[in-house]
Structures are given as C-alpha cells and as structure tokens.
C-alpha cells in the first residue's frame, strides 16, 4: 500500500463517534476518527515501512500520525528523527502513545528519554517518563540500573506535585510501572507512592482527575501481577 491508498483507507475507517472522543482529548483537525483496532489489517499488510511512516506522520492528521507509529522502524530512527517527531506531537496521545512507544523500541531509548525528562517542556517530559513505562513494562529487569531507577523515583517524589499536568500523569504512571513491572524496586516504589499520595490532574472542560499510584500498585499485588511484562509494546 502506498501513501494515497493508506490515507483513503483511513478516511473510510473513520467514525464520527471516535473523532469526537479524540477531539475531546486534545486532538484537532485534520483527523478521521479511526479506532486502533481497525488499523490492524492494514498494518499486517504493510508490516514496517519507515519511508511511508514519515510521509504519514508529516501530514499532521492524527490518525495518519498514529498509524505511522505502528509501521515505523525504530531501530533505524536517529535521535534527531525522534526529536522531529516529538516537535510535531501537539498533545499527549501523540507524545505518550505514538512517539514514546516508538522510541521504546529503539536502542537509544533511555538516552533520548533522559534528555526529554530534563527538557522542562511538558509534553517532552511526559513522553520521557512514558517511554520508561513502556520500557520497564516490556524489557527484562537486567537492562536497567536499579540505582538510576531509584534516583528517578526520588525525583518524582520531590517534583511531581509542582510539575505540569501531563508530566504529573506520566510520573505517576512511572511509579506504578516500577511498582508492578520492576521487581527489584517494588517495595521502594510502594513506599514512595504512599508518600506521594493523591495526584490531582487538571483537565480543560472536564472534571479534574485524581491519581493514586499506591492504591493502583496494591490492586496489582492482590491480583498476583507483580513482575508483569508485556510481550509487545506496539499494536
């Protein structure tokens, strides 16, 4: 499938109901409102195609950008490629669920994520913390430095309540992910999450969200899911 046929297919797959949901979460035109599940038949045909992914991502169309993440080839993307994608990620569903996910399958994931976390920019920081969530939830514990992850949790404890809202949400998810998927620091994550307590996220035109990583980790303990790893990160 080429660029034109993919765009035509995405338009056909668009649903008004999904479009409204995406718009309410921060997406803007152009977009069609395609569910992620309905993209799977196309992705199976195409598999991976970085050149096509770049064409689709450059459209600014949310559905095309999302699909670009599914067919991208992270192993051949450079740091500047990820920065360029991040520059165009205008809301959290792109930064955290397209760019961060794609980055998590690259060899430079931790280095790029570290740089984004230190950037001071809300969506870059959010993507950086989210990337670690995807990494910790998929890769073996031996790929991570316990000391580094421990320091990162201390950073969350000391800064989360003063961080931008999207970054707060990703930091909270980081604590949860360490507590569930990184067994060596499960107890520390639980203790820090308890100290952090409830995290309030302000949402435009919606009620505020209240997140509690400690409670969420405890629920996973009760289900016997500590040490859980995903088989795949991308769809």
- pLDDT of res. 206: 82
Tell me the pLDDT tens digit for each residue of 8-58: 999 999 999 999 999 999 999 999 999 999 999 999 999 999 999 999 999
Tell me, letter by letter, the H, E, C secondary structure of the chain. Answer: CCHHHHHHHHHHHCCHHHHHHHHHCCCCCCCCCCCCHHHHHHHHHHCCCHHHHHHHHCCCCHHHHHHHHHHCCHHHCCHHHHHHHHHHCCCHHHHHHHHHHHHHCCCCHHHHHHHHHCCCCHHHHHHHHHHHHHHHCCCCHHHCCHHHHHHHHHHHHHHHHHCCHHHHHHHHHHHHHHHHHCHHHHHHHHHHHHHHCCEEECCCCCCCEEECHHHHHHHHHHCCCCCCCCCCCCC
Domain count, the chain: 1
Tell me the pLDDT tens digit for each residue of 71-87: 999 999 999 999 999 99
Whether 149 shows a pLDDT value over 80: the answer reads yes
Q: For the whole model, what pTM was predicted? A: 0.95
- pLDDT of res. 109: 98
- Residue 15 domain-assigned (yes or no): no
- Residue 142 domain-assigned (yes or no): yes
Q: Which residues contact 155 (CB under 8 A, 6 or more apart)?
A: none
Averaged pLDDT for residues 178-200: 98
End-to-end CA, the chain: 19
Tell me the pLDDT tens digit for each residue of 115-140: 999 999 999 999 999 999 999 999 99
- Residue 223 domain-assigned (yes or no): yes
- Residue 97 domain-assigned (yes or no): no
- Residue 170 domain-assigned (yes or no): yes
Q: What are phi and psi of 177, to 5 degrees?
A: -65, -40
Whether 226 shows a pLDDT value over 70: the answer reads yes
Tell me the pLDDT tens digit for each residue of 209-218: 999 999 999 9
- pLDDT of res. 203: 84
Q: Give 232's pLDDT tier (boundaries 50, 70, 90).
A: confident
- Residue 197 domain-assigned (yes or no): yes
Averaged pLDDT for residues 161-168: 97
Is the sign of the CA dihedral 155, 160, 162, 168 positive or negative? positive
Percent residues over pLDDT 90 in the chain: 95
- pLDDT of res. 156: 98
Average model confidence (pLDDT) across the chain:
97
What gap in Å lies between CA 51 and CA 53, rounded to an integer?
5
- Residue 162 domain-assigned (yes or no): yes
Q: How many other C-beta atoms can be found within 10 angstroms of the C-beta atom of residue 47?
A: 9
For 188, the domain range is 109-235
- pLDDT of res. 235: 63
- Residue 20 domain-assigned (yes or no): no
């Amino acid at each position: 499938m080429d660029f034109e046929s993919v765009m035509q297919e995405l338009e056909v797959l668009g649903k008004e109901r999904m479009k409204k949901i995406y718009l309410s979460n921060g997406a803007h035109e152009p977009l069609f409102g395609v569910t992620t599940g309905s993209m799977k038949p196309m992705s199976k045909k195409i598999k991976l195609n970085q050149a096509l992914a770049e064409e689709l991502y450059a459209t600014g169309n949310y559905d095309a950008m999302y699909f670009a993440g599914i067919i991208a080839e992270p192993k051949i993307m450079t740091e500047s490629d990820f920065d360029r994608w991040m520059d165009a990620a205008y809301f959290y569903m792109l930064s955290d669920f397209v760019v961060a996910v794609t980055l998590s399958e690259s060899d430079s994931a931790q280095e790029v994520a570290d740089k984004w976390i230190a950037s001071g920019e809300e969506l870059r920081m959010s993507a950086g913390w989210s990337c670690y969530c995807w990494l910790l939830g998929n890769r073996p514990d031996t790929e991570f430095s316990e000391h580094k992850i421990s320091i990162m949790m201390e950073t969350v404890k000391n800064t989360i309540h003063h961080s931008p809202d999207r970054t707060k949400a990703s930091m909270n998810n980081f604590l949860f992910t360490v507590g569930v998927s990184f067994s060596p620091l499960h107890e520390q994550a639980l203790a820090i999450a308890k100290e952090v307590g409830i995290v309030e996220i302000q949402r435009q035109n919606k009620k505020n969200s209240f997140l509690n990583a400690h409670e969420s980790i405890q629920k996973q303990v009760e289900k016997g899911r500590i040490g859980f790893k995903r088989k795949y990160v991308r769809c």
